[in-house]
Structure 1
Amino acid sequence: MWKLTENWKGTEKNSLMTIEDYFKYLDLDKFESRKDVAEAKLELGKTLGDEKEWSEHYFVANVSVSARFCTDDGQLARFLGGFYNSTYQQVLFDKSMCSGECLDKLSELGMDVKGRVSIGSLSYTRMDAVFEQGQTLHNLNRTDYRVMEKLSDKNLLLMDIKTGNFVVAQGTNLFARHPRGEKAAETNSLMGIEWGQGLYLGSTPLTIDFRHIRQEYGTKRTIEDIYQYREMLQDRFRLYTRMEKDELLSDEAREAIMLVGCKEFGTSDYEHFRKGLQEGLYDKGVSEMMENQKEKSR
């Protein structure tokens, strides 16, 4: 969805369009050259990032249009509420300029053209879902999370992709938010996760006790011999490696993860780790773990 503000001789009109309808509105065929078309598209593409980035096009001296990609519900509500408009100008919302798909999306969100959400107009339906490690999930506030570790079927170690903060989401479920009175379907629903309780851990992996988190919130893993213990360590090393290479994390976060792995295994290199694993370098904890299992089973 693209947010569009047309400035016509001092009066601003807001509307929502699909990218196809916006290009029709600009009438790219009337641009002087293919280079101008390419530059217009490139400028528009830059609005996928910083909220302050807008693409501007001037038809004549006092008639222009500003547009940008709408990244989340909060930004959409601010746009509809006039947050991005010039305070000294009259602001209107022109439904006739909007793409039908965008107006349908507003209905799905339970949002009016002023950006106000009517909770009473929405219903929530729990959906069947199997969560997987590495998966990207969204909550109903449109925050994106990466599943760093699946502790159990419903307990997930998540990382907020935007802030880098970690959270243990306990009792996680997937919900469809849709207009009240309608059956949840892909065409009318916003899908998102919610959890019962959250343990918020901050954004510094070096200060997080992952071992305690696995013991406290994970599915109990029974270790019966040295080979299962080594398999568990190998899974953990691979988790650190995935996190260290995750391009969505900042350089500082990846470096901190590397230090966590080095502290536990003495290396971040897989071949060195594998050699140490085969030589029994990390076996000292297996006896204690198996003894603790026996104590708990009594």
Structure 2
Amino acid sequence: MKLEEIVLVKEHLKGKTMNYLLSLDDFMQIHVGRKTDSLVMGGQIALALAKTLSEDKNWMQIEFSEHKRVEARFCSSEMQLRGFLGGRFDEIDVKTVFAEDVCNAYCLDKVTNLGLRIDGSTNTKFQFTYKPVDSHFEQGDILHNFNGSDYRVLEKLSARNLLLMDVKQGSMVVAIGSGMYTKYPKGEEPTEDNQTIGLEWDHGVYLGNTPSLVDFSIIREKYGEVKEIETIDDFRSSQEDLFNFYKKIAESPILETSVKEAATNAMYDVFCTGRQEVFLNNLSGGKYDSNFIGAAPVQKEMVR
């Protein structure tokens, strides 16, 4: 069972709440089947439940009577599961119990395989094996990290250095020495049910959550592929790489607007244009050569 297949359920009955974990089939049979025999209404309830996967704070509800209602959502992350087990979503002044005997057995196995206790705390006696897996990072990829966060790849700086943005928080980080790993219980063979695949990195450089304050050229120069620049042709080639780096981010249909605007502004600050043909004419005409040691400064004009 995958983590995202677990349904978190809060059953409210006469001033008390009972929490438990179900599979989708269990939920549809136990709750939807008792609410209605209409295929249309059942489909609407299933759709409302499915929407919770993309909305972390959203819970769908089923009203049975004045005294009974059920809230439910798919589990979106290990962090959310920990919070649910630990009572983070419980209402104040409402007696709440976790009904382990009502839970789906596969859901409880998943909790155990994640190294968690039933109260959401870490089972320190439970050990994991980590093994690297083949990975090919692309701009726009959403990667899950074992700390419970999801990161979008803004740019692949080098084979193992990535510029990432936290999907929920909007904060950016340069992940140095990135790789994908599979995590599963020590002493067992990895299976779909007991393993989790996630992103890890050796060291992170945290950049905050304001793209306009990030100097993308410095990031690329420091953490990107290293190229020796000995001649003016080498320099111009590096400038073309930098322009294409900015342009790829600025024109990406899947990145956040704030990131694209920051890349666009940086591109104009450095090259005075965002148009490919104008840039290439300026490049071949030597208008950017002033940054190369020994070249005389050349006056640049802004072109949009």
Partner-residue secondary structure (3-state), 2:134:
coil
Query: 1: CA distance between counterparts of 2:209 and 2:122?
Result: 31
Q: Shift of the alpha carbon at 1:214?
A: 3.3
* 1:127 aligned onto 2:102: no
Corresponding residue for residue 298 of structure 2: none
Query: 2: CA distance between counterparts of 1:37 and 1:246?
Result: 39
User: What stretches of structure 2 of length at least 5 have no aligned partner?
Assistant: 1-5, 296-304
Deviation string 1:51-108 (CA, Å, 9 cap, x unpaired) is 4421111223322211012221221111112222233333232334333432232122
Query: 2: CA distance between counterparts of 1:214 and 1:240?
Result: 10
Query: 1: CA distance between counterparts of 2:294 and 2:154?
Result: 27
Deviating more after overlay: 46-55 vs 64-73? 46-55
Corresponding residue for residue 103 of structure 1: 108
Over aligned residues, Cα RMSD in angstroms? Answer: 3.1
Which amino acid is the alignment partner of residue 265 of structure 1?
F
Corresponding residue for residue 243 of structure 2: 237
Query: 2: CA distance between counterparts of 1:243 and 1:136?
Result: 16
Q: 1:275 to 1:136 in 2, by over 3 A?
A: farther
Deviation string 1:221-260 (CA, Å, 9 cap, x unpaired) is 1346666554443433333233234466543333222111
* 1:252 aligned onto 2:272: no
Equivalences for 1:286-297 in 2 at 5 Å?
none
Q: Shift of the alpha carbon at 1:42?
A: 4.2
Which amino acid is the alignment partner of residue 256 of structure 1?
A
For the 8 Å contact 2:155–2:249, the answer to whether it is kept is: no
* 1:174 aligned onto 2:180: yes
Q: Shift of the alpha carbon at 1:131?
A: 4.3
Structure with higher helix content: 1
Corresponding residue for residue 157 of structure 1: 163
User: What stretches of structure 1 of length at least 5 have no aligned partner?
Assistant: 290-298
Corresponding residue for residue 137 of structure 1: 143
Which amino acid is the alignment partner of residue 218 of structure 1?
G
Corresponding residue for residue 83 of structure 2: 78
Deviating more after overlay: 190-199 vs 243-252? 243-252
Corresponding residue for residue 301 of structure 2: none
Q: Shift of the alpha carbon at 1:5?
A: 1.1
Equivalences for 1:1-298 in 2 at 5 Å?
1-28=6-33, 31=36, 33=38, 35-134=40-139, 135-223=141-229, 229-246=235-252, 249-285=255-291
Q: Shift of the alpha carbon at 1:33?
A: 4.8
Q: 1:15 to 1:30 in 2, by over 3 A?
A: closer
For the 8 Å contact 1:123–1:178, the answer to whether it is kept is: yes
Deviating more after overlay: 253-262 vs 95-104? 95-104
State the percentage of identical aligned residues.
34
For the 8 Å contact 1:107–1:179, the answer to whether it is kept is: no
Query: 2: CA distance between counterparts of 1:166 and 1:125?
Result: 25
Moved over 6 A (4+): none
For the 8 Å contact 2:212–2:258, the answer to whether it is kept is: no
Q: How many pairs were matched up?
A: 289
Deviating more after overlay: 210-219 vs 25-34? 25-34
TM-score by length of 1: 0.81
Which amino acid is the alignment partner of residue 19 of structure 2?
N
Deviating more after overlay: 20-29 vs 115-124? 20-29
